[in-house]
Amino acid sequence: MDITGAGEFPSVTTPNYDRSEELKAFDETKTGVKGLVDAGIVKLPRIFIRPPDELAQEKLNSHIQTHVEVPVIDLAGIDRDDRRKETVDEIGRASERWGFFQVVNHGVPVTVLEEMIKGVVRFHEQDDGVKKEFYSRDPKRRVRFNSNFDLYRTRSATNWRDTLTIAMLSPDLLSPEAVPAVCREVTMEYTKGIMQLGDTLFELLSEALGLEPGHLKGMDCAKACTFTCHYYPACPEPELAMGTSMHSDAGFLTVLVQDHIGGLQVFHQDQWVNVHPIPGALIVNIGEHLQLLSNDKLKSVEHRVLANRIGPRVSVACFFGPSFDVSAKLYGPIKELLSEDNPPIYREILMKELYDHFTTKGLGGNSTLAYFKLGS
């Protein structure tokens, strides 16, 4: 495979450069970014290098330092009325002001979190021949491995990461035999813990909105969950690349475990804030569809992952949403939240509309929600 390398701020007018051919050559290896690292590259292929204006802006803002921290919420004792009200208030504030928070004492054992990370490493670092059996860009495949789901669609530079995607609940629970053997046992155990936590979070978020605890779950917000198991190899030129381009999540809610390396950043008050790894913590963020349901009370915010010379960095994101077996169901701002002073901001939409728009535009673009605003 001949993939062009380039130095800092490469020319966008390189003669005879064909980006589509380079993307195709990369994709056809079926070994992802890790395949490039294993081949010993020391300069980034052109497809991974961010545009000159983006790199210049990043350099301009590199002096900005922030000591602001994403809220950390302790879920211990939420069965007690006094503690539950306090937790609901904390989650409400974090979801309105940040769209992100970390939770501790969430009920998923630390050993399971650690083993899940190790299981993802085992998958990505196993023999290429075994891994290629899962390589696919067919979104209907419930278990698939590839690099950059939007490889051929995004206008952004190709991201420095590989991903194993597992649609665990869609709406039926995936058979254990369908999960790669190297991470099968821990994935099934992790799924149980994350699904229970999802139910708890949707109850607390419902109460934060002033609704009955089962309201969001009753809208099928936790009917499906999909894992994206990301593997970010050490990058030879991290200042030129991005692990994951800035974006906000589709769906209702994301719960993520990251390893000790970090790199996740949230855009808050016009600056990028690091989400520092906390041993045993899980990261929670509001999805665009939950922002729509809450009529903009809860916020889905942009975030990104930096490339790093240290690696591999590993994370596992669980995306909660309705199953496509209810694809004919319309979702709009929750009527109990609307009033003369708080009219609907968005039209009612099918879940498929949001996902189709999200996947078509890829990462690095504007929020999907703007497309669904009334009058847009």
Per-residue pLDDT tens digits for 268-296: 998 999 999 999 999 999 999 999 999 99
Cis omega (within 30 of 0) on the bond before 312?
Answer: yes
Half-sphere exposure of 28 (CA within 13 A, CB side): 9
Q: Sorting pLDDT into bands at 50, 70 and 90, what band is 130?
A: very high
Identity at 300, one-letter amino acid code: S
Are the C-beta atoms of 215 and 206 separated by less than 8 Å?
Answer: yes
Q: Is 46 helix (H, G, I), strand (E, B) or coil?
A: helix
266/327 Cα distance (integer angstroms): 30
Domain boundaries, the chain: 33-372
Q: How far is the CA of 352 from the CAs of 129, 289, 299, in angstroms? A: 34, 11, 21
DSSP state of 158: P
Are the C-beta atoms of 215 and 98 separated by less than 8 Å?
Answer: no
pLDDT, position 9:
38
- Number of Cβ within 10 Å of residue 12's Cβ equals 10
Buried-exposed string 263-295: b where 16+ CB fall within 10 A, e elsewhere: bbbbbbeeebbbbebbebbbbbbbbbbbbbbbb
What average pLDDT does this structure show over 336-350?
93
What average pLDDT does this structure show over 28-50?
97
What average pLDDT does this structure show over 230-244?
97
Closest CA to 345 of 273, 307, 302, 297: 297
Closest CA to 303 of 361, 246, 241, 363: 246
Q: What is the sign, positive or negative, of the torsion defined by CA atoms of 215, 216, 221, 227?
A: negative
Q: Sorting pLDDT into bands at 50, 70 and 90, what band is 154?
A: confident
189/197 Cα distance (integer angstroms): 13
What does the pLDDT look like over 157-207, one tens digit per residue? 999 999 999 999 988 999 999 999 999 999 999 999 999 999 999 999 999
Q: Sorting pLDDT into bands at 50, 70 and 90, what band is 359?
A: low
Are the C-beta atoms of 266 and 275 separated by less than 8 Å?
Answer: yes
Range list of β-strands (E), the chain: 72-74, 100-104, 143-146, 162-169, 224-232, 242-247, 253-258, 264-268, 271-274, 282-286, 303-306, 313-321, 330-331, 349-350
Q: Which two tokens stand for residue 263?
A: 């790199």
Q: Is 186 exposed, middle or buried, given 0-12, 13-18 or 19+ CB atoms closer than 10 A?
A: buried
DSSP state of 342: S
pLDDT at 10 over 50: no
Q: Please give the CATH number for the structural domain made up of 33-372.
A: 2.60.120.330
pLDDT at 7 over 50: no
What average pLDDT does this structure show over 288-305?
96
Q: Which two tokens stand for residue 34?
A: 């890790």
Q: Please, where are the H alpha helices in 168-271?
A: 184-208, 215-218
What average pLDDT does this structure show over 94-104?
98
pLDDT at 106 over 50: yes
pLDDT at 153 over 80: yes
pLDDT at 303 over 50: yes
- pTM of full prediction above 0.85: yes
The number of angstroms, rounded, from the C-alpha of 350 to the middle of its chain's C-alpha atoms is 21
Are the C-beta atoms of 30 and 55 separated by less than 8 Å?
Answer: no
Q: What is the sign, positive or negative, of the torsion defined by CA atoms of 182, 187, 190, 194?
A: positive
